[in-house]
Amino acid sequence: MQTPWWKEAVVYQIYPRSFMDSNGDGIGDLNGITSKLDYLKELGIDVIWMSPVYQSPNDDNGYDISDYQAIMDEFGTMEDFDRLLSEAHKRGLRIVMDLVVNHTSDEHAWFVESRKGKEGPYADFYIWRDGKADGSEPNNWGSCFSGSAWQFDEGRGQYYLHLFSKKQPDLNWDNPKVRDKVFQMMAWWCDKGIDGFRMDVISMISKTANMPDGKANGGLYGDFGPYCVHGPNVHQYLREMNERVLSRYDLMTVGETSGVTPEQACLYAGTDTHELNMVFQFEHVDPKGKYGKWDDRKMPLVTLKKILSKWQEELYGKAWNSLFWDNHDQPRAVSRFGDDRPQYRVRSAKMLATCLHMMQGTPYIYQGEELGMTNYPFKSPDEFRDIESVHAYEEWCESGRVSHEEFWPCIAAISRDNARTPFQWDDSPNGGFTKGTPWILVNPNYREINAQAALKDPDSVFHYYQKLIALRKQYPVIVHGKYRLLLEDDPDLFVYTREFEGEKLLVVCSFTEEEREISLPEEFKEAQCLIGNYPDLGDEGKEKRLVRPYEAFVYFLRQ
Ligand code: GLC
Ligand code: CA
């Protein structure tokens, strides 16, 4: 059987608002992306996933869509989009669109109609409930962006459900007309020639009919999880989507499925379940500390290895992994999992890249990761632009529950705005991102960390990613090999092998600034080194090998 292209591909995620501004209004845009396609081609990626570019009032930076078939004014026009798509295709790059259909914006025409009353063609497009006898919310669920998940609408005299902000009402997928509309819209984009969809919180589209109070989970509200995540009809709806739309085109599909287990992933993205090609799981980036996700502690390496290895092993031959360290909702990889101090930043960024790109699955690079871009040194909550961070600070701190001193390091380390500061193109003002005033602060380290400097330096993180991507094209074992973890209890070293049709890899990654010694497995003593993040190979061939701070290397042998 021929390997589908998305299994061999490397995906690059663009957050359009922060990638490249072409007209000086301080906001990244489509023409900005088009102007940088050659840069992406040079990196060697195959697929671009763009965070939403549709018309949106921007309550959640485009994840609140008011028209699925129009482009956000700030990002350009549909002509700009068509040009971007054709310029990408000319270069052999594919474009995957973000599909946000768990909810729309409250400014979407469907919602504007729906809130008018209980009659009418759109009355049932959203999830409406009466309040309790005393007029309070139908239940105690909290939204992901703080506060209640219910909002009362005066016009309709009912509450609507919003698992995210109150400007993001949840669609009612049990209504077949909603599914018709969504599938028609998807087909319209496919007919334009796009190459796939990344499906936003797709595991939340089906809710239970009965909506009891949720368990209090540390915060002020109850947890909607058991009633809204991996709900009763989610697989039925995805199979229907597959049959009616996806299977008719040559697409790549990836579902955002927070809280998913490997078993569930095998349903969403099983080789023969006819739903999606792959899913994102979040166990390795999902801290559960005293303040929920706001937790600045590093996950112990042994735990990280256990999680990632479980996914490598349990999906093998049954479903396909998506590999990522960060995205537009997560802090920067090198700051979170590596070491962003100047003496270790480049080395540890390359180590993380090695660790991820040698695993089984499709790797995703988040914009700027290939430069080793770091978290932003946030000093105060008014620097945040992200609705989630702004509300979380209010709910935890301004309410007096936690002191600023206690909470600040947690939110500063985890805030989604860390990933959303502008891409650093060069050392000119604003990192070359805009000639105007950027919509969000630019990381002051742009003078050292930028694409122009990286392209000039043969030892840069950029060139290392380029090499990793090229290796994937050359060695089938990187795409297909069976994974095995070694040294599972070692607190500092992440060591694993891959094996496929007589080819074998040994991957060694150090997550510490200490020197460590390891004995290489016998068979790798004479093996060839494919890539490493130190200029020399260290004491190769010897029985014991010194592993230097944040060192990574990969050995290859053919039996
Ligand atoms: C997803 C997106 C995130 C967004 C949320 C609501 O988790 O990745 O950015 O805020 O869904 O659409
Ligand atoms: Ca612009």
Which pLDDT tens digit goes with each residue over 305-335? 999 999 999 999 999 999 999 999 999 999 9
Cα 348 to chain center, whole Å? 20
pLDDT at 374 over 70: yes
Residue nearest (by alpha carbon) to ligand 1 atom 12: 63
Dihedral sign (CA 41, 336, 203, 209)? negative
Give residues with Cβ within 8 angstroms of 341, minimum separation 6.
Answer: none
Q: Beta strands of 154-251 (E only): which ranges?
A: 158-161, 196-199
Mean pLDDT lowest for which of 237-241, 399-403, 442-446?
A: 399-403
Residue 3 lies inside a defined structural domain of this protein: no
Q: Which of 143, 172, 201 is the last residue of a domain?
A: 172
Token pair of 394, please? 């209010």
Residue whose CB lies within 8 A of the most ligand 1 atoms, among 58, 165, 201, for a mutation test: 201
Place of tokens 């018309």: 55
Element (H, E) at 128: strand 128-129
Tally DSSP H helices, then E strands, for the chain. Answer: 18, 20
* DSSP 8-class letter at 251: -
pLDDT per residue as tens digits for the range 156-209: 999 999 999 999 999 999 999 999 999 999 999 999 999 999 999 999 999 999
Q: Which residues does a 6 A CB cutoff place in the pocket of ligand 1?
A: 60, 63, 100, 164, 200-201, 256, 328-329
Residue 289 lies inside a defined structural domain of this protein: yes
Instruction: Please identify every residue annotated as catalytic.
Output: 200, 256
Name the region of 193 (left: φ>0; alpha: ψ -120 to 50; beta: rest): left
Identify whether residues 71 and 180 lie together within a single domain: yes
Q: What mean pLDDT is predicted for residues 61-89?
A: 98
Mean pLDDT lowest for which of 250-254, 398-402, 543-547?
A: 543-547
Q: Minimum-distance ligand to the CA of 35?
A: 2
Identify whether residues 349 and 225 lie together within a single domain: yes
Q: Are 228 and 205 in contact (CB under 8 A)?
A: no
pLDDT per residue as tens digits for the range 503-529: 999 999 999 999 999 998 999 988 999
Cα 206 to chain center, whole Å? 22
Q: What mean pLDDT is predicted for residues 535-544?
A: 70
Between helix 461-474 and helix 345-357 the angle, nearest 10°, is 20
Place of tokens 């050392």: 427
Ligand 1 atom closest to the Cα of residue 63 is: 12
Identify whether residues 243 and 258 lie together within a single domain: yes
Residue 98 lies inside a defined structural domain of this protein: yes
Identify whether residues 229 and 271 lie together within a single domain: yes
Residue whose CB lies within 8 A of the most ligand 1 atoms, among 15, 18, 164, for a mutation test: 164
Distance from residue 21's CA to the centre of ligand 2 (Å): 4
Identify whether residues 257 and 359 lie together within a single domain: yes
Q: Beta strands of 462-514 (E only): which ranges?
A: 482-486, 493-500, 503-510
Ligand 1 atom closest to the Cα of residue 103 is: 12
Beta bridge partners of 47: 11, 94
- pLDDT given for residue 404 in this prediction: 97
Q: Are 206 and 237 in contact (CB under 8 A)?
A: yes
Residue nearest (by alpha carbon) to ligand 1 atom 7: 201
| Tally of structural domains, the chain | 4
Identify whether residues 34 and 153 lie together within a single domain: no
Distance from residue 517's CA to the centre of ligand 2 (Å): 51
- pLDDT given for residue 544 in this prediction: 79
Identify whether residues 310 and 456 lie together within a single domain: yes
Supply the range of the domain harboring residue 148.
105-172
Q: Which of 172, 194, 214 is the last residue of a domain?
A: 172
Token pair of 349, please? 């960024």
Distance from residue 33's CA to the centre of ligand 1 (Å): 21
Q: What's the mean per-residue pLDDT of the chain?
A: 96
Q: Minimum-distance ligand to the CA of 19?
A: 2
Residue 472 lies inside a defined structural domain of this protein: no
pLDDT at 541 over 60: no
Residue 473 lies inside a defined structural domain of this protein: no
Distance from residue 57's CA to the centre of ligand 1 (Å): 15
453, amino acid identity: A
Distance from residue 201's CA to the centre of ligand 1 (Å): 7
Identify whether residues 188 and 273 lie together within a single domain: yes
- pLDDT given for residue 545 in this prediction: 86
Residue 51 lies inside a defined structural domain of this protein: yes
Q: Quick one: pLDDT band at residue 354, thresholds 50, 70, 90?
A: very high
Residue whose CB lies within 8 A of the most ligand 1 atoms, among 18, 49, 63, for a mutation test: 63
pLDDT per residue as tens digits for the range 381-408: 999 999 999 999 999 998 889 999 999 9
Residue nearest (by alpha carbon) to ligand 1 atom 4: 63
Distance from residue 431's CA to the centre of ligand 1 (Å): 27
Residue nearest (by alpha carbon) to ligand 1 atom 9: 329
Give residues with Cβ within 8 angstroms of 263, minimum separation 6.
Answer: 314
Q: Are 56 and 65 in contact (CB under 8 A)?
A: yes
Q: Beta strands of 164-205 (E only): which ranges?
A: 196-199
Q: Minimum-distance ligand to the CA of 105?
A: 1
Identify whether residues 279 and 294 lie together within a single domain: yes
- pLDDT given for residue 492 in this prediction: 98
Q: What is the pTM of this model?
A: 0.98
Residue nearest (by alpha carbon) to ligand 1 atom 3: 329
Percent of the chain with pLDDT over 70: 99
pLDDT at 290 over 90: no
- pLDDT given for residue 525 in this prediction: 82
Distance from residue 16's CA to the centre of ligand 2 (Å): 10
- pLDDT given for residue 538 in this prediction: 66
Q: What is the CATH number of the domain that holds 508?
A: 2.60.40.1180
* DSSP 8-class letter at 16: G
Residue 2 lies inside a defined structural domain of this protein: no
**Separation CA 470–CA 456 (nearest Å):** 19
Token pair of 469, please? 């991507």
- pLDDT given for residue 540 in this prediction: 59
Q: What is the CATH number of the domain that holds 152?
A: 3.90.400.10
Identify whether residues 328 and 362 lie together within a single domain: yes
**Cα pseudo-dihedral 235, 237, 241, 242, rounded to 10:** 20
- pLDDT given for residue 504 in this prediction: 97
- pLDDT given for residue 2 in this prediction: 86
Identify whether residues 64 and 96 lie together within a single domain: yes
pLDDT per residue as tens digits for the range 113-154: 999 999 999 999 999 999 999 999 999 999 999 999 999 999
**Separation CA 389–CA 331 (nearest Å):** 12
Ligand 1 atom closest to the Cα of residue 416 is: 9
Q: Minimum-distance ligand to the CA of 165?
A: 1
- pLDDT given for residue 543 in this prediction: 67
**Separation CA 253–CA 264 (nearest Å):** 16
Identify whether residues 143 and 62 lie together within a single domain: no
Three-state DSSP at 173 gives: coil
Beta bridge partners of 141: 222
Percent of the chain with pLDDT over 90: 94
**Separation CA 319–CA 279 (nearest Å):** 9
- pLDDT given for residue 491 in this prediction: 98
**Separation CA 53–CA 73 (nearest Å):** 9
The sheet carrying 128-129 orders its strands as 128-129, 158-161, 150-153
Q: Quick one: pLDDT band at residue 288, thresholds 50, 70, 90?
A: confident
